[in-house]
């Protein structure tokens, strides 16, 4: 009897790395987490990843075989198999293909975490059956993955789809990328907190958040305050959604997507951020696009979405190779 094929999905984050074994149906058969510890050389990280993932494989039994490895990480380059100046990691440049090649002669694919999220939605989530859609991850920053004509858009250099670093206000907030007014400085968990800070300074609106030191303020605190009817927190969400929607109207004009799918911590706020986004987007849209594009939340709520996305990445590569050889 042939063994069941599974892939290893890996999500490299600034603090922790999550990894798991994913089958073609999108079941996470086993998952684990380890410290990324990027203050140590990359070789140390990939050695530990190899050991830990072997342990996972042993745990799920001998009926499964590993068919490939997919890795999602910030600034990962699909074409080169590299990590280039990843934010929140101490490594400058990592040749992932060479590092992983020391251990496993298996198919490997890497891409940035938002692209992996888009493939996760296409294979296992809300975008099943869609050929044109955008996934926006609203976390500490704003990531995006674009699928057009059924294919993830990598662009000429493998780094396409950074909607978070397109300009909303040319003289706006300083972004960690060095530019002014990037979308992610407004539409992200940190952007929401910066908006609250601005509202403290520029309005007299009462708020329970005024007693919180800015250093301690989190998007979750703003969300809880908004749920309780705090007017300043509600205004911060409205503004965040408004800016997001305004900018998404541009993306709709470029791509005419069927849907825009949101995942990540801030997206869990649901309509509190998506409803003002929908309104602002519709107001800004070129009329031929109006009332067509769905804004929806992720349906990847079972298992770990980032691990599923990285798994979908390598499944997509394996299937493409299979289609070309058969």
Write down the least CB distance from residue 179 to Zn ion, Å.
5
Please report whether residue 29 would count as binding Zn ion according to CB under 5 A: no
187 is a site residue for Zn ion (CB under 5 A): no
Of 29-37, 151-159, 169-177, 273-281, which part binds Zn ion (CB under 5 A)? 169-177
Asked if 274 interacts with Zn ion (CB under 5 A), we say: no
Q: Can you list the positions of beta strands (E) in the chain?
A: 4-12, 16-22, 28-35, 64-72, 76-77, 82-84, 93-95, 108-111, 133-138, 142-148, 151-152, 259-263, 294-297
Which one of 90-98, 112-120, 181-189, 310-318 is the stretch in contact with Zn ion (CB under 5 A)? 181-189
Applying CB under 5 A, the span of 30-38, 138-146, 168-176, 290-298 interacting with Zn ion comes to 168-176
DSSP string, 90-120: S-SEEEHHHHHHTT--S-EEEE-HHHHHHHH
Token pair in block for residue 199 = 């509202």
Closer by beta carbon to Zn ion, 24 or else 165 = 165
Does position 163 bind Zn ion by CB under 5 A?
Answer: no
Residue 212 found at the interface with Zn ion (CB under 5 A): no
159 near Zn ion, rule: CB under 5 A: no
Residue choice 64, 148, 177, 180 for contact with Zn ion (CB under 5 A):
177
Q: How far apart are CA 188 and CA 190, in angstroms?
A: 5
Check binding of 5 to Zn ion (CB under 5 A): no
The site that binds Zn ion (CB under 5 A) totals a number of residues, namely 5
Q: Is 182 in the site for Zn ion (CB under 5 A)?
A: yes
Q: How far is the CB of 165 from Zn ion (least distance, A)?
A: 4
Using CA atoms, how far apart are residues 31 and 56, in angstroms rounded to an integer? 7
Q: Which is nearer to Zn ion, 187 or 285 (CB)?
A: 187
Task: Give the C-alpha separation, 75 to 296, whole Å.
Answer: 26
Which distant-in-sequence residues (6+ apart) come within 8 Å of 307 by Cβ? 9, 10, 11, 18, 19, 20, 22, 28, 31
Where along the sequence are the contacts to Zn ion (CB under 5 A)?
A: 165, 175, 177, 179, 182
């Amino acid at each position: 009897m042939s063994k069941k094929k599974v892939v290893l999905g890996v999500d490299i984050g600034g603090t922790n790395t999550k990894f798991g074994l994913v089958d073609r149906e999108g079941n996470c058969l086993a998952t684990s987490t380890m410290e990324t510890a990027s203050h140590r050389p990359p070789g140390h990280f990939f050695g530990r990843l190899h050991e830990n993932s072997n342990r996972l494989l042993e745990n799920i039994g001998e009926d499964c075989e590993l068919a490939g490895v997919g890795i999602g990480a910030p600034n990962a380059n699909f074409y080169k198999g590299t990590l280039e100046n990843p934010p929140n990691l101490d490594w400058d440049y990592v040749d992932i293909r060479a590092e992983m090649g020391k251990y496993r002669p298996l198919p490997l694919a890497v891409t940035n975490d938002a692209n992996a999220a888009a493939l996760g939605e296409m294979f296992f989530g809300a975008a099943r059956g869609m050929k044109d859609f955008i996934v926006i991850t609203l976390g500490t920053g704003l990531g995006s993955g674009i699928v057009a004509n059924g294919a993830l858009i990598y662009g000429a250099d493998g780094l396409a789809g950074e909607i978070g670093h397109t300009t909303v206000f040319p003289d706006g907030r300083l972004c960690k990328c060095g530019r002014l007014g990037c979308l992610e400085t407004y539409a992200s968990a940190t952007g929401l907190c910066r908006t609250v800070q601005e509202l403290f300074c520029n309005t007299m609106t009462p708020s329970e958040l005024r007693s919180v030191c800015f250093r301690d303020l989190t998007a979750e605190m703003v969300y809880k305050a908004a749920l309780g009817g705090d007017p300043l927190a509600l205004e911060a969400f409205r503004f965040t959604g408004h800016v997001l929607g305004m900018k998404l109207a541009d993306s709709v004009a470029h791509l005419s997507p069927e849907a825009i799918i949101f995942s990540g911590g801030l997206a869990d706020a649901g309509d509190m951020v998506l409803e003002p986004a929908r309104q602002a987007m519709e107001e800004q849209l070129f009329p031929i696009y109006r009332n067509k594009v769905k804004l929806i939340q992720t349906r990847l709520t079972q298992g770990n979405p980032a691990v599923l996305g990285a798994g979908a990445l390598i499944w997509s590569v394996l299937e493409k190779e299979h289609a070309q050889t058969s």
